[in-house]
Amino acid sequence: MRLGVTFAAVAAVALSTAALAASFDYALKPQKVADGVYTLIGKTENFSRENGGNIVNTGFIVGDDGVIVIDAGPSKAYGEQQRAAIAKLTAKPVVQVLLTHAHPDHVLGLQAYAGLPVATLTATTAALTQSGDALLGNLYRLVGDAMLGTEIRLPNAVAADGAVTIAGRKLRLIAGSGHTDGDLMVFDVATKTLFAGDLVFFQRSPTTPNADIPTWLATLDSIDALDFAMLIPGHGGVLRDHAGIAQTRDYLQWLRDSLQGAARRGLDMPEVLQLPLPERFRPLAALKTEYERSVSHLYPAYELDTLPTVPRSKPP
């Protein structure tokens, strides 16, 4: 009898957990931005249980005979709901998934696309191979129930820089870096729509856990030179101009100069965390938390740069 009660209790817990996983509704609403081009705009918040990790923009392009998905979202449930949202709009099958970079909010929905070609830059696959489990564990902690059932899946193809036709749709894959070691952009030739991944943020503070700021700034210059009609940033709303590029550049330049200046003045990390943030960045979502994260990631290297190099042996 006692055992029976225990089993019943365990079963009840298991059931309610499964129900929670199944019931998390991302309420995904694809937004048509150009002929055959759609985006799913996420919140500009930090990860939370309430948003289920949907703080990211993903997208898809409907070609002549198939659909190309750009980023799979933060969880198995998101990937499944993204695929269902696509199926509501078109009977054409998904034939290709492209991943912009290795951050968890962009890649953890891949289970929904089992058996399909999933391409990204080699640096992204390397990063996921090395750190995927840690990224996954982190998201389970931050997001909780919406993550249930989510496992790491690795890309199975390499995206090469250059022109490619997929499902009859002419695309240009553009290899960049700076936000991470591998940042893939997808340019739809017919509509001049650029999926810029996290190389461009808009009205949301850029994240820097894997950033190389000089490289990122150089990549932003090359994006500025592209002839696009529409730019879909990794976070923030759809853009028809270069405002997101300018804002991301402004923030990164300020961050670099501010940390460099603080290191030269000999400030320690707690003092840097207290520095006032410029008024013009106030509208950026998650400003304070991203600034604090950036200081903890980046400041030690700036401090190191200010130290004199000591010769290891006396000159002959």
| Strand, coil or helix: 17 | helix
Which residues, including other chains, have CB under 8 Å from residue 292's CB and lie 6 or more apart?
273
Cite the DSSP H helix spans in 171-242.
Answer: 213-224
> Smallest gap, in angstroms, from Cβ of residue 107 to Zn ion?
10
Measured from the CB atom, the residue of 36 and 52 that comes closer to Zn ion is 52
- The CB density around residue 275, as the number of other CB atoms within 10 Å, is 14
- E strand or H helix that includes residue 21: helix 2-23
Q: Alpha-carbon distance 33 to 139, whole Å?
A: 30
Among the listed residues 177, 229, 215, 218, the one whose alpha carbon sits nearest the alpha carbon of residue 198? 177
Q: For Zn ion, what does the binding mask look like between residues 184 and 223, x meaning CB under 5 A? A: --------------x-------------------------
From the CA atom positions of the chain, what is the Rg in Å?
Answer: 22
103 binds Zn ion (CB under 5 A): yes
Q: For Zn ion, what does the binding mask look like between residues 151 and 190, x meaning CB under 5 A? A: ----------------------------------------
From 41-49, 103-111, 187-195, 211-219, give the range in contact with Zn ion by CB under 5 A: 103-111
Measured from the CB atom, the residue of 166 and 223 that comes closer to Zn ion is 223
Measured from the CB atom, the residue of 99 and 173 that comes closer to Zn ion is 99
> Smallest gap, in angstroms, from Cβ of residue 157 to Zn ion?
21
C-alpha pair distances (Å), 133 with each of 78, 79, 96, 226, 296? 18, 18, 24, 35, 22
Q: Where are the beta strands (DSSP E) in the chain?
A: 31-34, 37-40, 58-62, 67-70, 94-98, 118-120, 157-158, 162-166, 169-176, 183-188, 193-201, 230-235
Measured from the CB atom, the residue of 198 and 303 that comes closer to Zn ion is 198
> Smallest gap, in angstroms, from Cβ of residue 129 to Zn ion?
17
290 binds Zn ion (CB under 5 A): no
**Residue count, binding to Zn ion (CB under 5 A):** 2
> Smallest gap, in angstroms, from Cβ of residue 198 to Zn ion?
3
Site for Zn ion in 221-280 (CB under 5 A): none
Measured from the CB atom, the residue of 198 and 290 that comes closer to Zn ion is 198
> Smallest gap, in angstroms, from Cβ of residue 53 to Zn ion?
13
Q: 């962009």: which residue's tokens?
A: 106
Measured from the CB atom, the residue of 98 and 262 that comes closer to Zn ion is 98
Residues forming the site for Zn ion (CB under 5 A): 103, 198
